[in-house]
Structure 1
Amino acid sequence: MPVFTRLRQQPDTTETATEGTSPEVEPAARVTLRTRFADWRAGHPAVVRGVRWTVTVLAAVLVLGALLLPNKESALHLRTFARIPVEALLGAAVALTLPRRPRLAVAAVSGAALGALTILNLLDMGFWEYLGRHFNPVLDWELLPDAQSYVKDSMGATVATAATIGAVVLVVLLLAVMALAMVRLSNLLAGNKQIATRGTLAAAVVWVLCSALSLQMAGVPLASDRAAGAVVLQAKGVRQTLKDEADFQKIAKVDKFGNTPPSQLVPDLRGKDMIFTFIESYGRSAIEDPVEAPGVDATLDARTEALAKAGFHAKSGWLTSATYGGSSWLGHSTTMSGLWIDNQQRYRTVMASDHLSLTGAFAKSGAWDTVGIMPGVQKAWPESKFYGLSSYRNAFQMGYKGPKFSWSTMPDQYALQQFQTLEHSKKRSKPLMSLVILTSSHQPWAPIPKMVPWNDLGDGSIFKSIHDAGKKPADIITSSPKSQAEYGKSVQYSVTALTEWLERYGNDNTVLVFLGDHQPIARVSGNHASRDVPISIVAKDPKVLDKISDWGWTDGLRPAHNAPVWKMSAFRDKFLTAYGSTPHPKKD
């Protein structure tokens, strides 16, 4: 039988290979390195033990932290992590029961799953902060590119790229490190089975007692099933999303005015130039929060008085938005469709339907030309068909040469002036119905434009010095008080620009309906803010406001605290009915 020699830790040691095996020679460098490492370990036993225990403790902290991690930033307190997670006890029991290979496989898979749950909890934190709701694992992945674009527009391309790379690295690390941590802990339990079994039983008894007696520390239950509850919550959300998709398709096919003849749509507004305007993030907090309200309320009162001198009068109320903090398109579509559009699937469904929108009713009547002014749109916008717009102008079609103000592509004053120049001032055979979306009050509220003389607007270059002198997003984005103050100023600017435009260019036949799309993010409006937004109807013709005299709205641009509050989805039908539209339902 042939004999093969191969290197071991000692080069001169030989071993006879068994028949049928092939020779394997281990590189000398690798052997040397291994030998040195073994020698170092043998010579530093205390250090090795310290490293092992440090790694083990870090693994335990990582796993326990992930099991107890809440999904809201407001719940991040030390007491939240001073609890006993039942999932850890169940995991220990499984590790003590299974043979080695199945145990390692289960540990690695469950660790990766815990990493995935941690990622979902972190996404939940972000969504609660910015959108006031859970992250929907079925529908909300497509919003992440929008988040990246927001960071790019607000903080610059370098920060956006770094944030994207950091997020990807974090995801990979969480999945891998959590799996390794679980394997490490399972090996520790298996290697000390007797002690681990006693400890697990003792901890289980303590958990049961804490649960049965409802023991708490600083209002937080000591017995935790947070991770299991999070999994159940996510599963319910997925199931509800899939069910809601089917249910909403049926709801969207029912339309109170779906079969109304064109001649019977908004007959009491014939001959009026209609303008529907959304002001970004214009929420109830702007009018009632102690920080923002003084400046905003003073602006609303001053603008009410100025409009009255010009012959315009207003009535105002409240609508409860379908969205919060962002996703403005959900607020727009809810208002115009008369349907509750609170997620992406509903939005896609209604946009692809023939459901009648409020602006679409003016188009269907044949009595109005219809246009859109969309300074926030920077790509194809097929939704214009749903809104009944014969044409629209996006961010690149208004000749703006000035700087962007963070996310906002141009100041509201400039967008309104271009609306006047390009559309509103044109001689037409029909009155004009316009949908205008203003963006200057979009977060992060830095820098904020300032009003300039209307005749000096030009191509917008005048705003460069204002932009350069303004605050930087990084200066306020992490500070709630600063964000509140700047948010209030941005709303004052948008309201002033819109009402000065009306005062300057409106006439006896102009009717303006303007409202907010949603409340600002929790950092500004608070963790328990309502979803209400103000809405106003402004006109010179007293007959226009007489039609809504039974709505109970407040005179002027500032709605009273106790003014009526409707769901945003109720506005379409109330408006169409008030101005003479005859219901002819369309049913599935």
Structure 2
Amino acid sequence: MARWWLTLLLVNLALIATAIPRLGIDAMPWLALEGVVLIAMLSLWPRHHGRRWLGYLGGALITIALLGALGDTVTQEIRGRLFNPYLDPAQLPIFLALLRDNLGLTLSLVLVTATLIILLAFGAGVAHLLATLPRPRHAAARTGLTGMLLLSAGLTLLGLTQHIPWLGTPGVSLLAGQTSRAYATHAAVSDFEARLTQRESPLDAAQGQPLPGLAGRDVILAFVESYGMAALERAPFAGPVNARLDAMAEAFAQAGLSVASGRLMSPTLGGQSRLAHASVLSGLWIDSTLRYDLFLDSPRATLIDDFEQTGHTSVAMMPAIYRDWPAGQRLGYDEIHDDSRLDYRGPRLGWVTIPDQFVWHRLRQVRNTHHEPVFAELALISSHAPWVPVIEPLPWDELEDGKAFARWEGDGRNFYELWGDNAGMRQRYGPALAYSLAVAGEYATRFVEEDTLLILMGDHQAAPGMLGFTPNKEVPIHVISGDPALIAPFLAHGFKRGMQPPRDTPARAMDELRGLLHRLYGVEAH
């Protein structure tokens, strides 16, 4: 009987552990009925009718459930959602590369190897115990096991466990939930593939659609890394960020600039900024790498094509791109200014290889080389985790080739060690984001005039593991111009004057921005 109780204890611990990422310790059940059913069934099963193989199968399923729970834990921490077996296995190389970049190759290998060994060893031990469970010799024991089996199965099948908090079927619930998510995602991807071949509106075409209302005007689409609504609403970030927004609003008013703000729902959370960029550019909801790849393989036009049809030169300012970027070639920018082409000669400041202010500085220089209007997309990274070092704006006439940033050389060198310091990151996030907003605001007051529309927006919220309780996916968007007539249409479509986004209206999905620009400035509007 000791072996039987040990097996029940280990199986129960493994199964209830699978509920922790979804329910938390306080709400998880303390008795997993599927474990009782499995052990009672195997104990009663005839010895020579595949009983051993059923035991190994049960152990394998428990191991799979534990791996699924590990997936839930990781994706909850990074993405604020549960593991999706249809999408997330493809993200494993990206996750391993991120782990290597943050912890170093040796520590990453040790951590991953040790985790897999522990899980597989535990699963193998449980499988062996299940496969070699002794069959009860006494009729009373067999009767008791039969009663436990029928009671547990009955409670489960009748759905009565929801009325008894300490009972549940956590392993079955996890595997059923992940299977359901995979099936639903497969259906959604099929619908997305069909959408890519449809031509329901001009925006679905393979040719760009002009925006005559923006002809002859520079348009700058600037994504601020990790700039989410939580930064405006939660302590300790809200103080420095809102102070910066208020200062920007005052500076814009003094400079004669008009500004309106709104909220967008990003397709991603905590990372994968390219999904946000692609959703805005394409007018499609691209919330997974699979959808992103399908979009890139399609001929669908984007905002880049729209502005080229309008007479603009398209420019990408991508300081975090330092390898070949096939997606950029597919999207068809006229110019891509990545890490090497930005020609930054200053120090690399931790993860942030090129400070935002220098990217804005180079944008102005690039702009001055063109006689035609420019559509520029910027991916600004000074507000990227782990937010070290937090620097200050420099005088613009000192920027030159970036050597002026040497005063911070060496700061942030230990950024590998800081990723796990949530408390420290929470303190640095607000000031780092305030810096990114400050230099964007200074660029606007210096260089945004009547012939310019600056769209400044977040790409996604910061990681839930740092923000605390899981945030939504809302990000701020600000539109700024020296021409009030360019901003007025936004005010008529739910935006609010000033730098504070409205809170009393639903957030617009990020993929709707392309269509909104066409409604405000497209052929039908003019």
Q: TM-score by structure 2 length?
A: 0.89
SS in 2 for 1:77: helix
What are the Cα deviations for residues 262-310 of structure 1, in whole angstroms up to 9, with x where unaligned? 8961101111111101111111111122321121111011012112222
1:281–1:516: 8 Å Cα contact kept in structure 2? Answer: yes
Say if 1:384 and 1:263 are closer, same or farther in 2 by CA, change over 3 A. closer
1:177–1:481 Cα change, 3 Å:
closer
Q: Does 1:298 align with 2:243?
A: yes
- Which residue pairs with 1:413 in the alignment? 357
Q: In the alignment, which residue of structure 2 is the partner of 1:425?
A: 368
Please list the CA deviations of residues 536-570 of structure 1 after superposition, one character each: whole Å capped at 9, or x if unmatched: 11100122112333113111222132255211121
Q: Does 1:327 align with 2:272?
A: yes
Q: 1:536 aligns with which of 471, 478, 481?
A: 478
Q: 1:246 to 1:88 in 2, by over 3 A?
A: same
Distance 1:465 1:57, change over 3 A: farther
> Residues 400 and 263 (structure 1 numbering): CA distance in 2 closer, same or farther, change over 3 Å?
closer
Shift of the 550–403 alpha-carbon distance from structure 1 to 2, 3 Å rule, reads same
Looking at structure 1, the residues matched to 431 and 148 of structure 2 have their Cα atoms a distance apart, in angstroms, of 55
Residues 451 and 493, structure 1, Cα contact 8 Å, conserved in 2 = yes
> What root-mean-square deviation, in Å, do the aligned CA atoms of Structure 1 and Structure 2 show?
3.1
- Equivalences for residues 231-380 of structure 1 within 5 A: 231-255=175-199, 256-258=201-203, 265-365=210-310, 367-380=311-324
- Match of residue 494 from structure 1: 436
Indicate the residue corresponding to 1:24 in structure 2.
none
194 and 115 in structure 1: CA distance in 2 versus 1, 3 angstrom threshold? farther
| Counterpart contact for 1:96–1:189, Cα < 8 Å | no
2:488 paired residue number:
546
Change (3 A) 1:135 1:358: same
State the alpha-carbon separation in 1 of the partners of residues 11 and 49 from structure 2.
21
How far 1:97 sits from its partner (Å)? 0.3
Question: Cα–Cα, structure 1 residues 283 and 331, in superposed 2: closer, same or farther, change >3 Å?
Answer: same
* Whole-angstrom distance in 2 between the partners of 1:262 and 1:567: 23
Task: Identify which range, 482-491 or 510-519, moves more after superposition.
Answer: 482-491
Counterparts of 1:168-179 in structure 2 under 5 Å?
168-179=113-124
CA gap 1:95/1:164 in 2 versus in 1, 3 angstroms: farther
Query: CA separation in 2, counterparts of 1:193 and 1:443?
Result: 63
State the AA in 1 paired with 2:145.
T
Query: Compared with structure 1, are the counterparts of its residues 164 and 123 closer, same or farther at alpha carbon in structure 2 (3 Å cutoff)?
Result: farther
Where in structure 1 are there 5+ consecutive unaligned residues? 1-51, 584-588
> Contact 2:44/2:136 (CA < 8 Å) preserved in 1?
no
Q: Distance in 2 between matches of 1:185 and 1:263?
A: 62
CA distance in 2, matches of 1:424, 1:143: 37
Provide the secondary structure at the position in 1 that maps to 2:256: coil
Report how many aligned residue pairs link the two structures. Answer: 523
Counterpart Cα distance in 2 of 1:125 and 1:465: 40
Task: Report deviation, 1:450.
Answer: 3.1
* Offset at residue 389 of structure 1 (A): 1.0
1: CA distance, partners of 2:382 / 2:246: 21
Contact 1:112–1:175 under 8 Å retained in 2 = no
Q: Distance in 1 between matches of 2:299 and 2:478?
A: 28
Cα contact 1:154–1:406 (8 A) shared by 2: no
The corresponding residue for 2:31 is 83
By how many angstroms is 1:109 displaced? 3.0
Gaps of 5+ in 2: none
Q: Which amino acid aligns with 2:110?
A: I
Cα distance in structure 1, aligned partners of 2:107 and 2:474: 36
Rounded Cα–Cα distance in structure 1 between residues aligned with 2:475 and 2:400: 33
Instruction: Quote the residue 1:443 is aligned against.
Output: 385
Partner of 1:505: 447
Q: Which digits, 9 at most, give the CA deviation of each residue in 1:46-79, with x for residues without a partner?
A: xxxxxx96x9877654422221123554734266
Residue 200 (structure 1) aligned to one of 145, 166, 187 = 145
Cα distance in 2, alignment partners of residues 262 and 182 from structure 1 = 58
SS in 1 for 2:221: strand
Alignment of structure 1 residues 390-409 onto 2, 5 Å: 390-409=334-353
For 1:58 and 1:95, the matched residues in 2 are separated by 14
Q: Supply the AA of the counterpart residue of 1:108.
A: Y
How has the CA–CA distance of structure 1 residues 408 and 198 changed in structure 2, closer, same or farther, with 3 Å as cutoff? farther
Q: CA deviation at 1:467?
A: 5.5
Equivalent position of 1:228 in the other structure? 172
Q: How does 1:452-531 map to 2 (within 5 A)?
A: 452-463=394-405, 465-466=407-408, 468-469=410-411, 473=415, 477-478=419-420, 480-531=422-473
1:409 is aligned with what amino acid? T
- In 2, the alpha carbon distance for the partners of 1:528 and 1:579 equals 36
Q: 1:28: which partner in 2?
A: none
Q: Quote the Cα distance in structure 2 between the aligned partners of 1:62 and 1:417.
A: 61
Give the one of 150, 174, 184 matched to 2:129: 184
Identity, in percent, stands at: 27
- Give the structure-1-normalised TM-score: 0.80
Query: Do 2:265 and 2:473's aligned partners in 1 also have CA atoms closer than 8 Å?
Result: yes
